[in-house]
């Protein structure tokens, strides 16, 4: 063969590969001609009624005359004679697109109904009978099998069992393809997702599984990557930290979750929306655009790279809320008692950052919620604007610069991509999208619609219609791979764990929300802009010792943990051990300062009897304050500490530091310099005189440690330790000062008992006042303050 002929053949092969999008393997299933069997397991459920049968009818319309034949089956647990009439009522509701004439539509619909049937799919024998039925039909009509498509529109707990039945009895033969479609949720956290993935891999290959995220079927979402590639020359110079101010991905819903409570109360808004839909959109916006858009492997690897680059998400990166009527809906639908309280969030705003040079410091906001002011979804890239218009503030140059991927609903009412006219005019390299030039008088995200270039799909198509066509064609870009799924759960599971006992902010719902859900970004942290008030009994829906374990909230602008006394002690003890283990890991030693009084006794018992792995050998125990009495007397704080804790744990005696209130056979005499001796000991052993953990109580009069109202506390601030006076006997005390307390890494304020309720109520209202309310002066300079308040003190 001559060189010219060889070059021609090579050229033709390259042309063929390009025409296939460089990924012939993905399109192999679509190219194979023959008979396709479609099975929707759960074929008479809500999802099938609303979307799936309509989607498969549209697929059938588009494929008529293209060389393939079809059979459609609805599978369910009920017997055929009971459910077949219901099934055909569902099929009668399917419709054609506007470009199909009524006459042709009626013919196609009749054919579709003739090709469809309901079958009971409950036991292994049922699946074996289905396989025999398909094979018999193929033989009788002399058809070659192209493939089998199973759509599992059933709860996720049934996936593994059904996949096993399909694998053992319903696999096609002779090279025909198998595709099994799965609906979310794909697990509850990383571990459960991993278990489910492992179970499914025992029956199905990864390329046979199509995990649905229906947002990836929305035309605007599917257009994000093509838009970025088509407009590469405009976007490359500005798609970075120097030009992007922030990225917002927002899905707001106006409805409640009535009718879905049994599912929703187990999952909440983060699992339902953020972990999947919003995360996928984030990756499409921030990943490196693939060189070959049709290569699912390249798209996957670029997504995985971004997911691995998102900085860890913790409690400081999220705020959560719950609409006011949600708890009563839970009580009603789940038959819970009136004192049951759900902590499931119905609103969440999460602040993410990507550890890539391109996006360093760029905030990425992911927000979703129920019972908000409107139904709308969008992703917005807001750009920095360095132009200042001194006089003409309406100049196009001074208006916001933004690109908005508008998923639909809201004021615009149709899906669109909007580009501010002071950025660039976007290109569109195909006829599937069109430019909108005539606008109604509306605003989108603060700018009149006339300030944007607007593109919208030439024909609007429902997301499931799009995705079903992609499944049929074997295109995997629009679906979630196992690696992608686990990477997403790996990102979100730590945040979900940290929020598990957090109490969400209560919001009324709809337009009444006002600014309750408005947020403030500060560095890598996110907070509500309005201060959260102390939790009220009404918000909690009533509590009893059988409800509520531990909740989190805010008190006097600091973190608050609240629970019944026993659960509160469990949490405080766990938090102290966590702090101890972290300090020992980092520096080999843990410095713990404990106050006296009756409140900590249950804590001491908890630490002694339940925390056997506590690193006592590396712990130094210090006193916050002491009464000026001999340590052998019952009134001594050290005596209490020794009897209830120290004698029960293995702590070296040289790690115990009682306050030297008795020197030279006398008590708390200034000339004996006991306070200075203790301060010197602290300075010698405690790095920077900063205790790792300080536990304080609060008296009825607002004192803490032995720092009392009316005493000249401010005069003590030069020292770490001082002699003080108490209004009650014994009057003389020795105490750490605020100078020592506020140097600590963490300070816990423990308040317990109904007798403290009035004091807690007053503290929630008063401003900082050292003279009247000494405890208001507890403000760790570089540490964290947490209030631990039991329900009796909180609610009275």
CB 693 within 8 A of CB 707: no
Gap between the Cα atoms of 663 and 179, Å rounded:
84
Gap between the Cα atoms of 131 and 169, Å rounded:
7
Q: What is the DSSP track for 106-135?
A: HHHHHHHHHTEEEEE--SHHHHHHHHHHHH
Q: What is the DSSP track for 759-775?
A: HHHHHTTPPPBTTTBGG
What is the SS3 assignment for 347?
strand
Residue (of 512, 412, 445, 500) closest to 250 by Cα position: 445
Residue (of 309, 339, 237) closest to 791 by Cα position: 339
Cβ neighbours of residue 250 under 8 Å, at least 6 residues apart? Answer: 365, 367, 368, 376, 377, 378, 379, 380
CA-based Rg of the chain, rounded to a whole angstrom? 33
Instruction: Determine which one of 35, 214, 277, 642 is catalytic.
Output: 277
Cβ neighbours of residue 225 under 8 Å, at least 6 residues apart? Answer: 284, 289, 290, 293, 299
Q: What is the DSSP track for 236-266?
A: TTTSSTTTEEEEEEEEE--S--TT-HHHHHH
Burial, 373: exposed, middle or buried (Cβ in 10 Å; 0-12, 13-18, 19+)? middle
Q: Alpha helices, DSSP H only, in 20-123? A: 24-31, 46-47, 53-63, 80-91, 102-114
Gap between the Cα atoms of 319 and 321, Å rounded:
7
β-strand 732-736 against 721-725: which pairing, if any?
antiparallel
Q: Is 243 a catalytic residue?
A: no
Gap between the Cα atoms of 108 and 91, Å rounded:
12
What is the SS3 assignment for 522?
strand
The four Cα atoms 129, 41, 297, 304 give a dihedral, to 10 degrees, of: -140
If you search the block for the tokens 């050290």, which residue do you land on?
A: 638
Cβ neighbours of residue 122 under 8 Å, at least 6 residues apart? Answer: 77
Gap between the Cα atoms of 123 and 125, Å rounded:
5
CB 622 within 8 A of CB 726: no
What per-residue string of b and e applies to 240-269 under the rule 16 or more CB within 10 Å gives b?
A: eeebbbbbbbbbbbbebbeebbeebbebbb
Cβ neighbours of residue 296 under 8 Å, at least 6 residues apart? Answer: 23, 26, 475, 476, 477, 481
CB-side neighbour CA atoms (13 Å) of 493: 14
Helix axes 637-644, 601-610, angle to 10 degrees: 30
CB 720 within 8 A of CB 685: no
Q: What is the DSSP track for 590-642?
A: EEEEE--SSTTHHHHHHHHHH-TT--GGGEEEEESEEESS-TTSTT-HHHHHH
Phi, psi at 413, each rounded to 5° = 70, -5
What's the start-to-end Cα distance of the chain, in Å?
Answer: 97
| H helix or E strand, kind and range, residue 322 | strand 318-323
Gap between the Cα atoms of 149 and 38, Å rounded:
5
What is the SS3 assignment for 697?
strand
Residue (of 222, 216, 207, 224) closest to 183 by Cα position: 216
Residues that are catalytic: 277
């Amino acid at each position: 063969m001559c060189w010219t002929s060889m070059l021609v053949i090579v050229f033709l092969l390259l042309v063929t590969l390009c025409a296939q999008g460089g990924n012939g393997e993905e399109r192999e299933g679509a190219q194979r001609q023959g008979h396709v069997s479609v099975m929707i397991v759960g074929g008479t459920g809500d999802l099938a009624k609303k979307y799936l049968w309509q989607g498969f009818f549209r697929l059938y319309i588009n494929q008529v005359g293209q060389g393939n034949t079809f059979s459609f089956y609805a599978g369910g647990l009920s017997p055929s004679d009971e459910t077949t009439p219901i099934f055909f009522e569902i099929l009668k509701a399917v419709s054609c697109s506007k470009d199909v004439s009524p006459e042709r539509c009626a013919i196609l619909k009749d054919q579709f109904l003739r090709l469809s049937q309901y079958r009971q799919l409950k036991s292994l024998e049922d699946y074996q009978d289905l396989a025999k039925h398909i094979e018999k039909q193929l033989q009788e009509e002399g058809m070659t099998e192209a493939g089998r498509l199973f759509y599992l529109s059933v709860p996720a707990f049934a996936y593994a069992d059904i996949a096993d039945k399909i694998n053992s009895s319903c696999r096609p033969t002779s090279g025909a393809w198998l595709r099994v479609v799965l609906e979310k949720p794909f697990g509850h956290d990383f571990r459960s997702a991993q278990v489910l993935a492992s179970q499914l891999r025992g029956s199905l290959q990864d390329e046979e599984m199509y995990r649905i995220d229906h947002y990836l079927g929305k035309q605007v979402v599917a257009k994000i990557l093509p838009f970025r590639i088509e407009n590469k020359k405009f976007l490359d110079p500005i798609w970075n930290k120097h030009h992007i101010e922030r990225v917002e991905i927002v899905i707001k819903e106006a409805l409640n979750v009535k009718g879905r409570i049994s599912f929703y109360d187990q999952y909440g808004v983060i699992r339902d929306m953020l972990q999947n839909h919003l995360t996928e959109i984030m990756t499409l916006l921030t990943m490196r655009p693939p060189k070959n858009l049709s290569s699912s492997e390249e798209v996957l690897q670029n997504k995985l790279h971004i997911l691995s680059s998102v900085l860890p998400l913790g409690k400081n990166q999220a705020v959560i809320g719950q609409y006011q009527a949600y708890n009563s809906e839970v009580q009603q639908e789940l038959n819970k008692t009136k004192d049951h309280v759900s902590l499931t969030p119905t609103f969440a705003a999460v602040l993410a950052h990507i550890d890539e040079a391109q996006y360093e410091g760029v905030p990425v906001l992911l927000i979703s919620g129920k019972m908000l002011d409107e139904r709308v979804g969008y992703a917005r890239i807001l750009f920095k604007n360095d132009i200042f218009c001194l006089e003409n503030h309406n100049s196009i140059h001074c208006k916001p610069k933004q690109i908005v991927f508008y998923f639909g609903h809201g004021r615009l009412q149709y899906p669109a991509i909007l580009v501010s006219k002071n950025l660039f005019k976007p290109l569109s390299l195909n006829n599937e999208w069109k430019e909108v030039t005539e606008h109604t008088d509306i605003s989108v995200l603060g700018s009149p619609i006339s300030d944007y270039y607007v593109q919208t799909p030439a024909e609007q198509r429902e997301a499931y219609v799009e995705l079903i066509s992609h499944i049929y064609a074997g295109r995997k870009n629009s679906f979630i791979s196992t690696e992608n799924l686990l990477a997403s759960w790996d990102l979100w599971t730590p945040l979900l764990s940290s929020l598990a006992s957090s109490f969400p902010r209560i919001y009324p719902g709809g337009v009444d929300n006002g600014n309750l859900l408005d947020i403030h970004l500060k560095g890598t942290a996110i907070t509500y802009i309005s201060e959260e008030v102390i939790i009220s009994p009404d918000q909690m829906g009533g509590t009893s010792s059988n409800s509520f374990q531990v909740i989190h909230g805010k008190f006097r602008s600091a973190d608050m943990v609240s629970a019944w006394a026993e659960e509160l002690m469990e949490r405080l003890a766990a938090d102290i051990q966590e702090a101890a283990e972290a300090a020992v890991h980092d520096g080999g030693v843990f410095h713990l300062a404990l106050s006296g009084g009756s409140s900590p006794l249950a804590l001491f018992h908890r630490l002694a009897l339940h925390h056997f792995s506590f690193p006592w050998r590396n712990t130094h125990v210090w006193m916050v304050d002491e009464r000026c009495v001999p340590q052998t007397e019952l009134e001594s704080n050290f005596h209490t500490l020794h009897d209830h804790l120290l004698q029960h744990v293995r702590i070296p005696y040289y790690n115990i530091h009682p306050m030297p209130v008795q020197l030279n056979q006398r008590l708390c005499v200034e000339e004996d310099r006991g306070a200075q001796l203790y301060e010197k000991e602290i300075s010698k052993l405690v790095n920077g005189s900063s205790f790792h953990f300080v536990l304080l109580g609060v008296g009825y009069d607002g004192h803490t440690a032995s720092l009392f109202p009316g005493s000249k506390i401010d005069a003590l601030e030069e020292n770490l330790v001082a002699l003080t006076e108490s209004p009650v006997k014994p009057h003389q005390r020795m105490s750490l000062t605020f100078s020592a307390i506020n140097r600590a890494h963490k300070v816990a304020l423990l308040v317990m008992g109904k007798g403290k309720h009035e004091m807690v109520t007053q503290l929630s209202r008063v401003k900082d006042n050292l003279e009247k309310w000494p405890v208001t002066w507890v403000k760790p300079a570089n540490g964290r303050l947490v209030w631990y308040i039991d329900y009796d003190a909180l609610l009275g």
